[in-house]
Every structure is written in structure tokens, then in C-alpha cells.
């Protein structure tokens, strides 16, 4: 958590936000991605990727809202430290008067590619999330007027944390592979670049672009109980391309700021316990063939 707070401080400085007690540092926060940011967008979908039941949410004020965690997500924590008034609502439940403050579009099991996550059921891909955002932008424009809405959206913060499922479902758990990791990474970066261009065209000027974490340490990827250095090396390669993408956007758009977060260093494999051990607070038992969470045993922290 300490490293995360340092990262938030650097993020605030990079975006030239002023930390004033009691005042939100941005007027709105729009969130895109997968289960790492989902706040309930999957609740009414036909999918195994749901988290609106216990023990999820056991430490969250509103209980099991659909967040894939016991408490707050990273974007919740960022929102808290930026002084936002409450947590950003999921797209299906956000009220009309709340959309000017931001919307959460993130969907568990979703990815950059449309087909990502089909193994577990319905999901809202990044392209669909962009379409949902277009709808929200249109509604904000109707409410505030075109000029006022453009100025408002330019001041908002945007979070994009996506790509893990594209690698997990579409590459590492898919056989046989017909492309190298470098070629597949290039394909993902090209499609993500198009999506970020759409986001920019819709008014985004302050964008957080999260790098991917150590997927090689997930039980779903490696059932031997140790982190896969091969998978994590691939993530490092992809993250370098992702950072380069952020640099390209900053070069091409002098009126915008794209901040790349080095998640692989923050959530370092060296800082993680083994994927599962007997004395862990939570034990996850996976049915690898069906990608189904069979059972979860968690004790309160």
C-alpha cells in the first residue's frame, strides 16, 4: 500500500494537480478496464466473472457491489486521495445527475480485443466501453452545452487499466499459438492506440495508463505454485511498448498528459507470497479447464 500511495503522489504531481484539503482535485473521473477496476458493470451480465456476493466486499462500506476485491479497488483509492465525493458508479446504475462526476465502465474478464474473456461469458470489451462513454459524453453535452461540456471533460481524470485478460485468455491459456509474444504485443498496442485516440477525441486530456502486473504469479497461469519468469518477462516486454505508447501520445498531443504507471515494479514478484500456500488469509481453488472459481475461503483482515 505504501508504494501505491507514493505512486498516487507522483501521479498527482505529474498531472499538475494541487492537493487542497476539502476540494476535489478533478471535477470528474472516468474509468475503463477489467476486473481490477470493475465496480459492478458485470452484475447483470450472463457471466462467471461476477463479484456481487460474499466474501467480496467484506471490507467495503457498501458491501458486495461487484468489485473483485474485499475492499477498495485501485481507482477507488485514487479517487479518495483526490478528494472525490464518493465512489464512481458503474455505467448501468449511474444516475443522470451523477454522470458529470464520472462513470465506471470497467468490466471483469474484458480486454482490448472483443473476443477476450468469452470463455467465462458476457463482458464489456474496450470498444464497447468506448461506445458507452460516447453515450455519456453526448448526455453531458446536452446537459452542459457543447462548449461547457468540452471544457469540463478536458479537466477530468481518465483511468485505463486493461490488457491482462488479453494475455491470459488469448495467449497463455490458448494453444497452439501462431504468433510470437512480440507480434501479439504489437497487435494489442495498435488496437489500444486506436481506443486511446477515441478517448482523446472525446475530450480526455489527463489519462492514467496502467502497465500490466506479474501475471506469471497467478495460479490460473502457473499451477506449480511458483511465479513464471517467462510470463513476467513477456509482461515486461509489453509494458515497455505500453510506456512507448504513452510517450507517443504526449509527443503528438501537447495539450494532453498521458501517465504510464509501472505496475510490474509496484506489484513486484519479489513482494508477493507464493500464489497459494496453506497459511494464506485467502485460498483460491481454481478449476483450470473451465476458468471457474470453485471455492474461496477468506478470513477478515
Asked whether 159 and 37 are in contact (CB, 8 A), the reply is yes
Q: Is 197 among the domain residues?
A: yes
Sort 248 into a burial class: Cβ within 10 Å, 0-12 / 13-18 / 19+.
Answer: middle
Distance CA 107, CA 101 (A): 19
We report the CATH number of the domain holding residue 222 as: 3.40.50
Q: Is 280 among the domain residues?
A: no
Q: Is 143 among the domain residues?
A: yes
pLDDT in tens, 86-123: 999 999 999 999 999 999 999 999 999 999 999 999 99
Q: What is the mean pLDDT of residues 212-231?
A: 82
If pLDDT is split at 50, 70 and 90, which confidence band does 37 have?
very high
Q: Is 261 among the domain residues?
A: yes
DSSP character at residue 173: T
Overall domain count for the chain? 1
Q: Is 247 among the domain residues?
A: yes
Residues 6 or more apart whose Cβ sits within 8 Å of residue 295:
285
Q: What is the mean pLDDT of residues 214-234?
A: 83
Q: Is 285 among the domain residues?
A: no
pLDDT in tens, 54-94: 999 999 999 999 999 999 999 999 999 889 989 999 999 99
Q: Is 7 among the domain residues?
A: no
Reduced 3-state DSSP string for 84-131: CCCCCCECCCCCHHHHHHCCECCCCCCCCCCCCCHHHECCCCHHHHHH
Tell me which residue of 195, 204, 166 sits closest to 26, measured CA to CA.
Answer: 204
Q: Which domain holds residue 195?
A: 20-274
Strands (E), the chain: 29-33, 157-161, 206-210, 257-261, 282-287, 292-298
Q: Is 136 among the domain residues?
A: yes
pLDDT in tens, 241-272: 999 999 999 999 999 999 999 988 887 666 65
Distance CA 149, CA 172 (A): 42
Distance CA 73, CA 151 (A): 28
Tell me which residue of 225, 247, 207 sits closest to 78, measured CA to CA.
Answer: 207
The number of C-alpha atoms within 13 Å of 182 and in the hemisphere containing its C-beta is 0
Amino acid at each position: 500500500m505504501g508504494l501505491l500511495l507514493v505512486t498516487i503522489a507522483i501521479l498527482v504531481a505529474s498531472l499538475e494537480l494541487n492537493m487542497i484539503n476539502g476540494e476535489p482535485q478533478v471535477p470528474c473521473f472516468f474509468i475503463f478496464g477489467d476486473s481490477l477496476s470493475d465496480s459492478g458493470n458485470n452484475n447483470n451480465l450472463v457471466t462467471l466473472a461476477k463479484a456481487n456476493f460474499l466474501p467480496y466486499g467484506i471490507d467495503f462500506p457498501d458491501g458486495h457491489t461487484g468489485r473483485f476485491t474485499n475492499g477498495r479497488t485501485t481507482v477507488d483509492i485514487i479517487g479518495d486521495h483526490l478528494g472525490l465525493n464518493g465512489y464512481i458508479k458503474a455505467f448501468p446504475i449511474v444516475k443522470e445527475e451523477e454522470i458529470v462526476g464520472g462513470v465506471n465502465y470497467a468490466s471483469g474478464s474484458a480486454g482490448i480485443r472483443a473476443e477476450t474473456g468469452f470463455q467465462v461469458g458476457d463482458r464489456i470489451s474496450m470498444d464497447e466501453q468506448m461506445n458507452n462513454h460516447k453515450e455519456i459524453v453526448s448526455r453531458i453535452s446536452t446537459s452542459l452545452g457543447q462548449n461547457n461540456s468540452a471544457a469540463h471533460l478536458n479537466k477530468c481524470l481518465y483511468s485505463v487499466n486493461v490488457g491482462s485478460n488479453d494475455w491470459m485468455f488469448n495467449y497463455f491459456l490458448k494453444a497452439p499459438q501462431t504468433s510470437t509474444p512480440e507480434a501479439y504485443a504489437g497487435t494489442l498496442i495498435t488496437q489500444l492506440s486506436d481506443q486511446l485516440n477515441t478517448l482523446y477525441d472525446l475530450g480526455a486530456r489527463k489519462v492514467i495508463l496502467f502497465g500490466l502486473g506479474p501475471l506469471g504469479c497467478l495460479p490460473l497461469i502457473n499451477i506449480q505454485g511458483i511465479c513464471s519468469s517467462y510470463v513476467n518477462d513477456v509482461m515486461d516486454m509489453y509494458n515497455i511498448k505500453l510506456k512507448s505508447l504513452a510517450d507517443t501520445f504526449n509527443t503528438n498531443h501537447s495539450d494532453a498528459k498521458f501517465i504510464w504507471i509501472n505496475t510490474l515494479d509496484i506489484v513486484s514478484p519479489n513482494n508477493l507470497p507464493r500464489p497459494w500456500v496453506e497459511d494464506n488469509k485467502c485460498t483460491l481453488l481454481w478449476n483450470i479447464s473451465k476458468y471457474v472459481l470453485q471455492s474461496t475461503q477468506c478470513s477478515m483482515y
